[in-house]
């Protein structure tokens, strides 16, 4: 998500501007192909290949007198064999917006009319911009992508500027790019000379939400009861994720009424086409921050080998996580089950904790859609229900675990009276038992699928069974 710009310096100017986007309605032009306050980012390349300008003044406006049209452009060069080679270049314009001494804006809004060839994707992005000794660096904060056609009409768009949220402002300059190709990943090339977009009436709306890192050991909106609606997409307040735009990634994060408690929960899904999903928030550690607790319901593709991982990082200004305090993976299927993850004992009061949920896909293409639901996330001094004792002495072994049939064999136990079985809510569960001189068989096949625990009277520990 970071780009370093050095060679392009010759083609850039650095206009000083207020929080208002300079020439945001595209009314001010030097000529039909020269726009005030905006820079053609690839002007030098276009000139080298004798390609026409990729921008022009358009009377097909949304408001005012003019709009900005960006189209692909065809250039050519002579290769080493003396043959003329034609090349299609995408259009790219950029501008700077100073927010020094001001609150960062919440959203970028505007109107776009686009017609793109198959295989092409236009982008609008916003980044923080840093000055370097030579050139500059940017950190992506928001992106919106467009494919196909708007049908010859203008359509509105909205970008939440804190889409990739970081609790520290990186700089006092926002960098806006508009392109007819995937500029941010530098992979896609322009395809058709006919592809174009027309932009008009850009503007900032609101103030970037003041995402709190609590002063006490809580997780704000951990129950996912509070959501905001952006262009029909419901976004959980105080939570952040990659892929606000469904066009950007085929990972979806949405609200669901299939909750553990309250009225709503969060649901992540992935269709194995694009990048995995990420959902994260922040908390502030106290002396009581010992466990990350929550409830999860999931249906993760076995054929695609999908898992979801939750990790608690120590957050630092320079990178998302420079120390892992805790981690846990989920796989398979389950109704809502509680989980408690013990935090590392090196957590110190006032440490900023980043709670990070993300899909892990092993690169296996599958038609199945994996889902993961999350509710009632909290940080506490005590575990929720039972903590899995991964480091406890193993007085016996359980096979198979997980069990598809609900039948578990406990090797090393001889007396039924030595243990009890509980469900994930901590309620003692009715189970059928059979025993032999060397093992005991537990039959949970008449019980709902989920997580269960054996409480050993021998050592006082709990051991997890997954059915």
Tell me if 2-207 shares its fold with 397-466.
Answer: no
Cis peptide before 267 (omega within 30 of 0): no
Measured distance CA(89)–CA(48) in Å, rounded: 12
Residue range 227-380 forms a domain whose CATH class is mainly beta
DSSP string for residues in 31-79: ETTEETT-EETTHHHHHHTTPPPSEEEES--SSSS-EEEEE-EEEEEE-
In 3D space, the residue among 279, 381, 392 whose CA is nearest the CA of residue 340 turns out to be 381
- Give 402-443 pLDDT, tens digit per residue: 888 888 887 765 554 567 787 765 567 778 877 776 778 888
Task: Please check whether the domain covering 397-466 is classified as CATH 3.40.50.
Answer: no
Q: In the chain, where are the structural domains located?
A: 2-207, 227-380, 397-466
Phi, psi of 365 (to 5 degrees): -80, 130
Burial 171-191 (b: 16+ CB within 10 A, else e): bebbbbbbbbbbbbeeebebb
- Give 46-80 pLDDT, tens digit per residue: 888 888 889 999 999 999 999 999 999 988 878 78
- Give 105-136 pLDDT, tens digit per residue: 878 899 999 999 998 899 999 888 887 777 77
CA angle 104-107-108, nearest 5°?
A: 110
Phi, psi of 10 (to 5 degrees): -65, -20
- Give the SS3 label for residue 415: coil
Query: Whole-structure pTM over 0.85, yes or no?
Result: no
Task: Please check whether the domain covering 2-207 is classified as CATH 3.30.365.10.
Answer: no
Count other C-beta atoms under 10 Å from residue 81's C-beta: 6
């Amino acid at each position: 998500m970071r780009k370093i710009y050095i060679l392009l310096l010759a083609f850039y100017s650095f206009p000083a501007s207020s929080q208002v986007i300079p020439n945001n309605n595209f009314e001010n032009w030097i000529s039909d192909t020269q726009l005030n306050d905006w820079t053609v980012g690839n002007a030098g390349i276009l000139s080298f290949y004798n390609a026409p300008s990729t921008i022009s003044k358009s009377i097909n406006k949304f408001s005012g007198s003019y709009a900005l049209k960006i189209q692909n452009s065809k250039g050519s060069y002579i290769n080493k064999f003396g043959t003329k080679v034609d090349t299609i270049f995408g259009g790219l314009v950029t501008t700077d917006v100073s927010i020094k001494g001001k609150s960062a804006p919440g959203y970028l809004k505007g109107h776009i009319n686009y017609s793109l060839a198959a295989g092409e994707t236009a982008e609008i992005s916003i980044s923080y911009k840093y000055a370097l000794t030579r050139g500059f660096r940017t950190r992506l904060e928001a992106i919106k992508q467009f494919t196909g056609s708007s049908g010859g009409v203008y359509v509105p768009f909205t970008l939440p500027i804190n889409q990739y949220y970081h609790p520290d402002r990186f700089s006092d300059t926002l960098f806006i790019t508009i392109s007819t190709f995937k500029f941010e990943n530098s992979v896609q090339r322009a395809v058709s000379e006919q592809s174009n977009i027309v932009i008009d009436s850009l503007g900032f709306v609101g103030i970037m939400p003041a995402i709190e890192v609590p002063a006490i050991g809580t997780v704000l909106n951990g129950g996912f009861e509070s959501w905001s609606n952006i262009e029909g997409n419901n976004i959980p307040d105080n939570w952040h994720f990659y892929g606000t735009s469904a066009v950007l990634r085929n990972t979806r994060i949405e609200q669901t009424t299939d909750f553990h408690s309250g009225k709503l929960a969060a649901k992540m899904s992935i269709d194995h086409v694009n990048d995995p999903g990420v959902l994260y928030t922040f908390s502030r550690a106290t002396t009581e921050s010992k466990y990350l607790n929550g409830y999860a319901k999931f249906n993760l593709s076995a054929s695609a080998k999908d898992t979801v991982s939750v990790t608690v990082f120590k957050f630092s200004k320079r990178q998302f996580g420079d120390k892992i305090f805790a981690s846990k993976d989920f796989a398979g299927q389950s109704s809502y089950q509680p989980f408690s993850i013990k935090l590392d004992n090196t957590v110190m009061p006032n440490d900023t904790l980043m709670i990070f949920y993300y899909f892990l896909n092993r690169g296996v293409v599958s038609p199945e859609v994996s889902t993961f639901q999350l509710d009632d996330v909290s940080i506490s001094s005590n575990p929720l229900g039972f903590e899995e004792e991964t480091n406890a002495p193993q007085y016996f072994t359980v096979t198979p675990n997980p069990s598809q049939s609900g039948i578990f064999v406990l090797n090393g136990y001889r007396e039924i009276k030595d243990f009890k079985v509980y469900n994930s809510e901590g309620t003692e569960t009715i189970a059928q038992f059979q025993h032999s001189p060397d093992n005991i068989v537990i039959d949970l096949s008449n019980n709902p699928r989920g997580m269960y625990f054996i409480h050993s009277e021998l050592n006082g520990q709990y051991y997890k069974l997954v059915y």
